[in-house]
Each structure stands twice: as structure tokens, then as C-alpha cells.
């Protein structure tokens, strides 16, 4: 089974390649906010905070599809998956 980003897992899944991360985020501009709508962004960062690329999409599904089409060959990370072993506990 291929791991992809979907409208049900987008808040905790992403693709990674080395120090690069591809994920969906959301926001708004004054025009869409006035209509009570959000924009969805297919975003790539280097590390945690250096934005490399971002595409704007009107729907969550479109943002997910854009990421899957371009980055599905990267490693898929499900951040909700249970972790085990030393170093995974909050105390570290």
C-alpha cells in the first residue's frame, strides 16, 4: 500500500527527503476570510522554518493531490504512529 497524504491525515503526515519536508498547511487572505473560506498550501521547507516552495490551493483535496503527485517518492512520515525505544519518551 502506498502511503499518501489525504484529507483525513494531512494534519499529522508529511513527506521527507533529507532535511526537506513537504506538507499541507492552511491560511487565508482577506478576500477568502471574508467569505469564511480557507486556502490550503502545499509547502516544502528546509528544516523546520526555511520555506523553499509553496503552492496555493482552494481545496484541501487539491493540496493533498499536488503533494502526492510531486513528493510521493520521498519518505512518508506519519507523526501519529507509535514510537518505541529509548529516546522517544518526552523526558529526553
Q: Is 86 inside a domain boundary?
A: no
Please indicate, yes or no, if residue 17 is contained in any of the structural domains: yes
The verdict on residue 54 lying in a domain is: yes
Write down the pLDDT at residue 82. 77
For residue 92, is it within any domain? no
> Among residues of the chain, what percentage have pLDDT more than 70?
87
- List the domain range (segments joined by +) for residue 60: 13-78
Residues 62-90 pLDDT 10s: 999 999 999 999 999 999 887 666 655 55
What pLDDT shows up at residue 92? 46
pLDDT at 36 over 60: yes
Q: How far apart are CA 70 and CA 82, in angstroms?
A: 27
Q: Is residue 27 part of a domain?
A: yes
Answer yes or no: is pLDDT of 1 > 80: no
- The pTM for the full model equals 0.83
Q: DSSP states of 9-23 as a string?
A: TTTTEEEEETTEEEE
Q: Within a domain: residue 89?
A: no
Domains held by the chain: number? 1
Q: With respect to residue 45, please indicate whether it lies within any of the assigned structural domains.
A: yes
Amino acid at each position: 500500500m502506498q502511503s499518501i497524504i489525504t484529507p483525513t491525515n494531512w494534519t499529522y503526515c508529511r513527506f521527507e527527503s533529507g532535511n526537506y519536508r513537504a506538507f499541507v498547511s492552511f491560511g487565508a487572505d482577506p478576500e477568502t476570510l471574508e467569505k469564511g473560506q480557507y486556502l490550503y498550501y502545499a509547502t516544502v521547507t528546509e528544516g523546520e522554518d526555511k520555506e523553499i516552495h509553496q503552492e496555493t490551493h482552494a481545496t484541501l483535496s487539491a493540496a493533498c493531490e499536488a503533494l502526492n503527485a510531486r513528493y510521493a517518492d520521498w519518505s512518508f512520515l506519519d507523526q501519529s504512529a507509535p514510537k518505541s525505544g529509548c529516546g522517544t519518551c518526552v523526558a529526553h
